[in-house]
Structure 1
Amino acid sequence: MTTPSEPRGGRLDPGPAAITGERRQLINLAYRLLGSLADAEDVVQEAYARWYAMSRQQQDAIASPGAWLTTVVGRLCLNVLASARARRETYVGEWIPEPLPEPTEWNAGRADGVTVDPADRVTLDESVNMAFLVVLESMTPAERVAFVLHDVFRYSFAEVAEIVGRTPAACRQLASSARRRIRVAQAPATPAARQAWIVRDFKQAWEAKDIDALLALLDPDATAIADGGGVVGAVLRPVEGAEQIVRSLVQLEGRLRHLTFLERTVNGWPGLIAQQDGVTVSVYAFEVAGDRIKRIWAVRNPDKLRPWTVGPRH
């Protein structure tokens, strides 16, 4: 597993530069734990608020600010994950992790007028591809936190135990259970270059309304899942089977006629976006097994498209 950045290493300088320098690492960690950039930003902001609420004497007593901030973020993420389960029971339709663009295509502005600092952008690697994040969603909060901290960010189980509030042996078991879930759920990865060709062929067949070509590109047992977050007309349930997916695409043709589909990288892997008048309104991620598309994830929830809304190449 690729490590997005080095694990904490006993940094002793508690000055402002050392504190702010932790932000990107914390955003990267929180996004992988929560699957939501908005929630990740909120959690990291809360961790910093707690740091600055302490007296200088209390801050000076902390040997490693990075370790302290990571512990706080990890524990806050555990709380968010526990409450998220209840929130998602009332979520309209399916919930999909928030998709991320290539760093060069990140929308620099937010709906609230705040400019996104390039240093806060999430590092894209195999630990943020959509298939991986979806598997993480199936884990218990403790499994997810233990696995991500140990297997992705390379923290020791003793360090993980301090964050999760369990013994190192228990955290080792949690991570082992998480690995089993991933082995069962994930198909062997198709090389990115090959996946890009398949996604391109899918886009061209879709635009040409070539039903036979679409069926040939889809695994017979393929699944399409849409996250509209209550958007009018959004598909509320997974569509199972290649024929059903193609039938759904045909039914949506009138609604999609005025959209422009573009090939883009989604969470580090080839995907598609749909734009209307230069504004991104949908993002599509794919899982390809062999030469066929096994899963399609479509995100239409406007709240999850903040980094995409207006890109530099529209």
Structure 2
Amino acid sequence: MTDLVEDFEAQRPRLFWLAYRLLGSASEAEDAVQDAYLRLHGADSALIESLPAWLTKAVTNLCLNRLTSARARREVYPGPWLPEPILTDDRTLGPQETAEQRESVSIALLSLMEQLKPNERAAFVLREAFAYSHSEIAEILELSEANVRQLYRRARQRLGEPRQPVHRPDRAQWRSLVDRFFTAASAGDVAGLVEILTADVTSTAEGGGKVAAARRPISGRDRVAQYVARVFTRNLAQTQLRLDAAEVNGEPAMLAFDGDTLAGVLLFEITGEQIAAVRIVANPDKLRFLAEQLSHPAGLSGS
């Protein structure tokens, strides 16, 4: 069993990344991986032909069970629900090599995947993010290959066609754009914000009923600019926030600190030289995992 446990620990980062994509919650993903570890302890090791395959199936099934109850909770969630943000500077956290793999961890796609049924989401994630074949997914989900193809096709139809790969601005480029955003927002400069926002820009903020935030997404350049300017000037008058650049969910982001406490994460979707979406996570429950990452920068616990 000792060797099996060591082999499990080697698999832990991949399993976490799978569970996170399936659940959109880092804390729940950790719980699912830990539950798989406990199942492994109760399993007959002689019957496990391939540990990675066994663990992938175990974690997927545990996540499917959690997704059913999570959907009910999120239907009554106060205001918009956004996935739990996670640092992705550390490439050991999971596959991010292709455009599809990078997109599968973006806040935008994780949010869209909330509309999928659990089995559809599993088929989509296993195929898009981990490149499993339809036959391999069929074995994991204990379905026919034809059913898996149908699940994947329905998921793709619900999510829309995959976005064309876009040029990802380097850190200096997006940092310059984000700095302009914060300079204009802090000064209440609506015109300055309008210049760097796309016409159909959206702003989504999540406070989870614990921090004041807009109850619905805001769209349109003028409305978003006015909202951002109003919120920033009001909040900055009450506290001195420190802003640090980071990559979160594969996207440019700024971490807002009130003293040593992580108070919020702002994620930016950039198109060309403009900002197409701003997503703000301020719910303290959603910030705990990222704060833990910051305090242990070597990677995931147990990795």
**TM-score tier after normalising by the smaller chain length:** 0.7 to 0.9
Q: 1:31 aligns with which of 8, 20, 27?
A: 20
Which amino acid letter does the alignment assign opposite residue 177 of structure 2? Answer: I
| SS of aligned partner of 2:289 | coil
Deviates more, 1:183-192 or 1:239-248: 183-192
Q: 1:300 aligns with which of 279, 282, 288?
A: 282
Equivalent residue for 1:246? 225
Bigger helix share: 2
- The CA deviation at 1:282 is 0.6
CA distance in 1, matches of 2:158, 2:269: 17
Tell me if the contact between 1:281 and 1:309 (Cα under 8 Å) persists in the aligned partners: no
CA distance in 2, matches of 1:166, 1:210: 56
Do the aligned partners of residues 309 and 25 (structure 1) sit closer, same or farther apart at CA in structure 2, a change above 3 Å counting? closer
CA distance in 2, matches of 1:288, 1:185: 17
| SS of aligned partner of 1:15 | helix
Structure 2, unmatched stretches of 5+, are 296-303
CA distance in 1, matches of 2:14, 2:163: 26
Equivalent residue for 1:84? 70
Equivalent residue for 1:113? none
Which amino acid letter does the alignment assign opposite residue 198 of structure 1? Answer: L
Deviates more, 1:212-221 or 1:159-168: 159-168
Equivalent residue for 1:208? 187
Q: What RMSD in Å do the two structures reach over aligned CA positions?
A: 2.5
Equivalent residue for 1:230? 209
Equivalent residue for 2:298? none
> Percent identity, aligned pairs only?
38
Deviates more, 1:195-204 or 1:59-68: 195-204
Equivalent residue for 1:75? 61
Equivalent residue for 1:10? none
Q: 1:52 aligns with which of 29, 37, 41?
A: 41
CA distance in 1, matches of 2:190, 2:214: 20
Equivalent residue for 1:169? 146
- The CA deviation at 1:170 is 1.7
Do the aligned partners of residues 67 and 185 (structure 1) sit closer, same or farther apart at CA in structure 2, a change above 3 Å counting? closer
Do the aligned partners of residues 179 and 189 (structure 1) sit closer, same or farther apart at CA in structure 2, a change above 3 Å counting? farther
CA distance in 2, matches of 1:148, 1:69: 16
Equivalent residue for 1:62? 48
Structure 1, unmatched stretches of 5+, are 1-12, 105-117
Tell me if the contact between 2:251 and 2:269 (Cα under 8 Å) persists in the aligned partners: no
Tell me if the contact between 1:266 and 1:284 (Cα under 8 Å) persists in the aligned partners: no
CA distance in 2, matches of 1:215, 1:185: 28
| SS of aligned partner of 2:270 | strand
- The CA deviation at 1:276 is 0.6
Tell me if the contact between 1:284 and 1:297 (Cα under 8 Å) persists in the aligned partners: yes
CA distance in 1, matches of 2:247, 2:39: 36
Tell me if the contact between 1:131 and 1:186 (Cα under 8 Å) persists in the aligned partners: no
- The CA deviation at 1:181 is 4.2
- The CA deviation at 1:102 is 4.2
Do the aligned partners of residues 134 and 187 (structure 1) sit closer, same or farther apart at CA in structure 2, a change above 3 Å counting? farther
TM-score (norm 1): 0.81
Equivalent residue for 1:278? 260
Number of equivalent positions: 283
TM-score (norm 2): 0.84
| SS of aligned partner of 1:285 | strand
| SS of aligned partner of 1:75 | helix
Which amino acid letter does the alignment assign opposite residue 282 of structure 1? Answer: G
- The CA deviation at 1:66 is 1.9
| SS of aligned partner of 2:143 | coil
- Cα deviation per residue 1:213-265 (whole Å; 9 max; x = unaligned)? 10111122211111111124222211122222222223322223322223221
**Counterpart check, 1:255 vs 2:235:** yes
- The CA deviation at 1:187 is 6.9
